[in-house]
């Protein structure tokens, strides 16, 4: 594969609202990110993906954009962003922005015009349809619950919103709309950003021919997913988008796309794919604390391993996945993969080793490196996220009591990953001098950056070592371009793989269980990383302690 500048990036996702506040309004801001750049640089990352910071009424925390050209004053100014780009560049860090072009906010002037005159020019920027017998055009359910259609007051028209009512979907069939989006994208690239994380892009093409579908829930609605995700013909848009924008700037693009059939993967992320990379979603639906996986943490990790390895084998050096374990839409990994009583340094440090050395771009989410977790709320009002409230209502409608519904929300709400960053043990964990927009996890006196910086055996220091190893000049090419081979696949307790290139063999061993496990095969090599002080061997086999994670190198 031809080498590209972004192949060896190590990403860090910032949820700006919760990262660092500098003006005491309780909301994180761009100057806060600038203030913490040295921390990120010491951690070793080389790319920051910053969640949406454009003007927005914040109905979906910035994923509802009302002006694509300006930074929301709550986060700072366009000038602040420019400064961030420059300061990051000085530290070898590239900034990528979130690009939300499946929908805008309902407060966007285009939509305001569309509502005034649905049959006018801006009506064609959105997906507007007349209702049928006083009902919405079809019974699709929004991805955040309730009907995907909302009536435009005073007209016969409904607009489509796959997400909240405040996020009307754009009409990609309209050439004029597409041109306006391309211009906006190019303007940001001109400013010097390194690329984009592209939101919900799999949904830009809709098949509206289906009419009402058989209901699949007590609400009488239907998911409709196959009519609005990766719909045939979407490739024409993706190709054009790439040609008119990204390609001209050789920028890095990371798309939120799931469920692409194997035979189409290369078209998406191969050498000349529509995007540089896409997120690998295959581990996202595992949550041991809820439903199917409750109490089955070992089985769950095994299932995750099998899916991840299968995806890697299919890709076979033809393209790069973006490998991650946490983001702003999912509960944090300690809570997702481990019961509370099993969360300790060893179990928390083995989790990143599973994915960090796989082929692809590794991505961290703020706070993951210090082991942040969610916490239990007493009242549903303590949550802000609309999707969380919709889910809560849905659980009540399914017949759960308020207590049961709140318990489920406490286990599963994505907002648990959005608590303010825990910098130190001072007021509000050093996040803000004001009243944080969302409560800080009360465990911040135990779990915080400053404490972990002072402890050589901390999780933070371990992440630092992982990143340093990924970037080490002797091994980096192998981590980026080496072949991938699964090891010890018969084991239901081990997650092991090997990366090989030019006679160099890098072997990764993770014991996912809380018991000692012996490898079947014999292995040797120089220890590059170990989350324990020692590594035991017997007759050439490795004797791995509970949750032990080790990387060994062999040169031939
Ligand atoms: C983002 C979510 C957001 C949704 C709608 C997603 O995939 O990650 O946080 O709510 O798109 O824009």
265 secondary structure, DSSP code: H
Does residue 556 have a pLDDT over 90? no
Q: Is the CB of 415 under 6 A from ligand 1?
A: no
Tell me how far the alpha carbon of residue 439 lies from the centroid of ligand 1, in angstroms: 21
Residue 3 designated active-site = no
Ligand 1 mutation target, pool 65, 322, 329, 414, most atoms within 8 A of CB:
329
**pLDDT tens per residue, range 318-328:** 999 999 999 99
Q: Give the β-pairing of 504-511 and 517-522.
A: unpaired
Q: Is the CB of 279 under 6 A from ligand 1?
A: no
Starting at the earlier edge strand, list the strands of the sheet with 536-538: 517-522, 541-544, 536-538
Residue 330: left (phi > 0), alpha (psi -120 to 50), or beta?
Answer: beta
Q: Give the β-pairing of 494-501 and 483-487.
A: antiparallel
Which residue CA neighbors atom 3 of ligand 1 most closely? 63
pLDDT band at 4 (very low <50, low <70, confident <90, very high): very high
Q: CA 543, CA 493: separation in Å to the nearest integer?
A: 13
**pLDDT tens per residue, range 12-47:** 999 999 999 999 999 999 999 999 999 999 999 999
Does residue 294 have a pLDDT over 90? no
Enumerate residues 6+ apart whose C-beta is below 8 A from 150: 158, 159, 161, 165
The arithmetic mean of pLDDT across residues 510-524, rounded, is 97
Q: CA 75, CA 327: separation in Å to the nearest integer?
A: 20
Contact assessment for residue 472 and residue 506, using Cβ atoms and an 8 Å cutoff: no
Contact assessment for residue 370 and residue 44, using Cβ atoms and an 8 Å cutoff: no
Q: CA 140, CA 146: separation in Å to the nearest integer?
A: 9
Q: Which pLDDT value is given to residue 508? A: 98
Tell me how far the alpha carbon of residue 200 lies from the centroid of ligand 1, in angstroms: 7
Tell me how far the alpha carbon of residue 241 lies from the centroid of ligand 1, in angstroms: 20
Q: CA 475, CA 502: separation in Å to the nearest integer?
A: 11
Q: Where in the chain is the domain with CATH 3.90.400.10?
A: 109-160
The arithmetic mean of pLDDT across residues 197-212, rounded, is 95
Q: Which pLDDT value is given to residue 543? A: 98
Q: Is the CB of 329 under 6 A from ligand 1?
A: yes
Which residue from 172, 123, 169 is spatially nearest to 149, judged by alpha carbons?
A: 169
Domain 483-554 CATH (choose: 3.90.190.20, 3.20.20.70, 2.50.20.10, 2.60.40.1180):
2.60.40.1180
**pLDDT tens per residue, range 419-450:** 999 999 999 999 999 999 999 999 999 999 99
The residue assigned the tokens 């794919």 is 273
Q: Give the β-pairing of 541-544 and 128-130.
A: unpaired
Q: Where in the chain is the domain with CATH 2.60.40.1180?
A: 483-554
Which residue from 345, 99, 308, 80 is spatially nearest to 200, judged by alpha carbons?
A: 99
Q: Which pLDDT value is given to residue 361? A: 97
Q: Does domain 109-160 have CATH number 1.20.120.140?
A: no
Q: Which pLDDT value is given to residue 214? A: 95
pTM greater than 0.85 (yes/no) = yes
Q: Which pLDDT value is given to residue 254? A: 98
% of the chain at pLDDT higher than 90: 92
State which ligand 1 atom lies nearest to the alpha carbon of 329: 9
Q: At what angle do helices 175-191 and 234-241 cross, to 10 degrees?
A: 40
Which residue from 322, 313, 354 is spatially nearest to 9, judged by alpha carbons?
A: 322
Q: Where are the strands (E) in 339-426, listed by range? A: 361-365
**pLDDT tens per residue, range 257-288:** 988 888 899 999 999 999 999 998 888 888 77
H or E element that contains 228: none
Q: Determine which of 290-299, 353-362, 471-480, 526-535 has the lowest per-residue pLDDT on average.
A: 290-299
% of the chain at pLDDT higher than 70: 100
Enumerate residues 6+ apart whose C-beta is below 8 A from 344: 547
Q: CA 142, CA 147: separation in Å to the nearest integer?
A: 5
Q: CA 526, CA 272: separation in Å to the nearest integer?
A: 37
Enumerate residues 6+ apart whose C-beta is below 8 A from 275: 198, 238, 242, 246, 253, 254, 255, 257, 268, 269
Does residue 317 have a pLDDT over 90? no
Q: Give the β-pairing of 47-50 and 11-14.
A: parallel
Q: Is the CB of 452 under 6 A from ligand 1?
A: no
Q: Is the CB of 169 under 6 A from ligand 1?
A: no
**pLDDT tens per residue, range 131-172:** 999 999 999 999 998 999 999 999 999 999 999 999 999 999
- The CA distances from residue 373 to 187, 348, 422, in Å, are 38, 11, 11
Tell me how far the alpha carbon of residue 150 lies from the centroid of ligand 1, in angstroms: 19
Q: CA 550, CA 511: separation in Å to the nearest integer?
A: 9
Q: Which pLDDT value is given to residue 295? A: 84
The phi and psi torsions of 391 (rounded to 5 degrees) equal: -60, -40
**List 21, 256, 415, 452, catalytic entry:** 256
The arithmetic mean of pLDDT across residues 111-138, rounded, is 96
The phi and psi torsions of 336 (rounded to 5 degrees) equal: -80, -40
**List 21, 80, 98, 199, catalytic entry:** 199
Q: Which pLDDT value is given to residue 261? A: 85
**pLDDT tens per residue, range 58-107:** 999 999 999 999 999 999 999 999 999 999 999 999 999 999 999 999 99
Contact assessment for residue 415 and residue 382, using Cβ atoms and an 8 Å cutoff: no
Contact assessment for residue 167 and residue 60, using Cβ atoms and an 8 Å cutoff: yes
Question: What average pLDDT does the chain have?
Answer: 96
Q: Which pLDDT value is given to residue 316? A: 84
77 is written with which tokens? 């100014």
DSSP, collapsed to helix, strand or coil, labels residue 27 as coil
Residue 256 designated active-site = yes
DSSP alpha helices (H): ranges in 378-471? 386-397, 402-412, 449-453, 459-471
Please list, residue by residue across 128-151, b when 16 or more beta carbons sit within 10 angstroms of its beta carbon and e when fewer do. Answer: bbeeeeeebbbbbbbbbbbbbbbe
Q: Is the CB of 64 under 6 A from ligand 1?
A: no
pLDDT band at 517 (very low <50, low <70, confident <90, very high): very high
Enumerate residues 6+ apart whose C-beta is below 8 A from 155: 115, 118
Q: CA 80, CA 86: separation in Å to the nearest integer?
A: 10
How many CB atoms are located within 10 Å of the residue 331 CB? 22
432 is written with which tokens? 């803000």
Q: CA 32, CA 38: separation in Å to the nearest integer?
A: 12
Contact assessment for residue 529 and residue 353, using Cβ atoms and an 8 Å cutoff: yes
The arithmetic mean of pLDDT across residues 301-319, rounded, is 93
Q: CA 53, CA 519: separation in Å to the nearest integer?
A: 48
* Degrees, nearest 5: CA angle 254-256-261: 105
């Amino acid at each position: 594969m031809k080498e590209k500048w972004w192949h060896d990036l190590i990403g860090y996702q910032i949820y700006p609202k919760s990262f660092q506040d500098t003006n005491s309004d309780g909301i994180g801001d761009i100057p806060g990110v600038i203030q913490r750049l040295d921390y990120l640089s010491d951690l070793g990352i080389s790319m920051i993906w910053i969640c949406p910071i454009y003007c927005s009424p914040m109905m979906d925390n910035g994923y509802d954009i009302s002006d694509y050209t300006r930074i929301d004053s709550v986060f700072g100014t366009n000038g602040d962003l420019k400064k961030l780009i420059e300061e990051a560049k000085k530290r070898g860090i590239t900034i990528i922005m979130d690009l939300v072009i499946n929908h805008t906010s309902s407060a966007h002037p285009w939509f305001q015009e569309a509502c005034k005159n649905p049959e006018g020019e801006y009506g064609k920027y959105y997906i507007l349809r007349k209702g049928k017998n006083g009902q919405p055009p079809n019974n699709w359910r929004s991805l955040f619950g309730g009907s995907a259609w909302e009536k435009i007051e005073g007209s016969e028209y409904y607009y489509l919103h796959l997400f909240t009512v405040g996020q009307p979907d754009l009409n990609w069939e309209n050439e004029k709309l597409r041109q306006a989006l391309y211009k906006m994208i190019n303007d940001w690239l001109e400013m010097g950003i390194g690329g984009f994380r592209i939101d919900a892009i799999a949904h830009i093409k809709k098949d509206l021919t289906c009419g009402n579908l058989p209901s699949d829930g007590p609400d009488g609605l239907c998911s409709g997913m196959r009519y609005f995700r990766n719909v045939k013909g979407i490739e024409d848009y993706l190709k054009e988008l790439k040609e008119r924008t990204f390609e001209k700037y050789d920028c890095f693009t990371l798309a939120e796309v799931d469920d692409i059939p194997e035979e189409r993967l290369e078209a998406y992320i191969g050498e000349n794919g529509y995007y540089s990379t896409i997120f690998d979603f295959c581990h996202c639906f595992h949550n041991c604390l809820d439903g199917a996986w409750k109490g089955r943490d070992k089985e769950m990790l095994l299932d995750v391993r099998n899916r991840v390895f299968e995806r890697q084998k299919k890709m076979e050096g033809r393209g790069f996945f973006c490998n991650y374990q946490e983001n702003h839409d999912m509960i944090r990994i300690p809570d997702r993969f481990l019961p509370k009583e099993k969360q300790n340094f060893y179990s928390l440090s083995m989790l990143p080793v599973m994915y960090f050395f796989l082929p692809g771009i590794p991505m961290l989410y703020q706070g993951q490196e210090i082991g942040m977790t969610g916490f239990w709320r007493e009242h549903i009002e303590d949550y802000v996220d609309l999707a969380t409230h919709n889910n809560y209502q849905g659980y009540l409608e399914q017949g759960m009591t308020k207590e049961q519904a709140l318990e489920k929300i406490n286990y599963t709400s994505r907002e648990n990953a959005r608590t303010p960053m825990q910098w130190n043990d001072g007021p509000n964990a050093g996040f803000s001098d004001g009243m944080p927009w969302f409560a800080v996890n009360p465990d911040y006196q135990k779990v915080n950056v400053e404490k972990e910086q002072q402890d050589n055996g901390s999780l933070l220091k371990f992440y630092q070592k992982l990143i340093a190893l990924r970037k080490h000049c002797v091994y980096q090419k192998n981590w980026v371009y080496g072949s991938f081979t699964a090891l010890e696949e018969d084991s239901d307790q081990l997650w092991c793989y090997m990366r090989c290139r030019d006679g160099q063999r890098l072997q990764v061993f993770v014991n996912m269980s809380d018991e000692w496990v012996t490898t079947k095969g014999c292995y040797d090599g120089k220890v590059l990383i170990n989350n324990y002080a020692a590594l035991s061997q017997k007759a050439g086999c490795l004797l791995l302690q509970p949750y032990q994670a080790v990387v060994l190198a062999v040169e031939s």
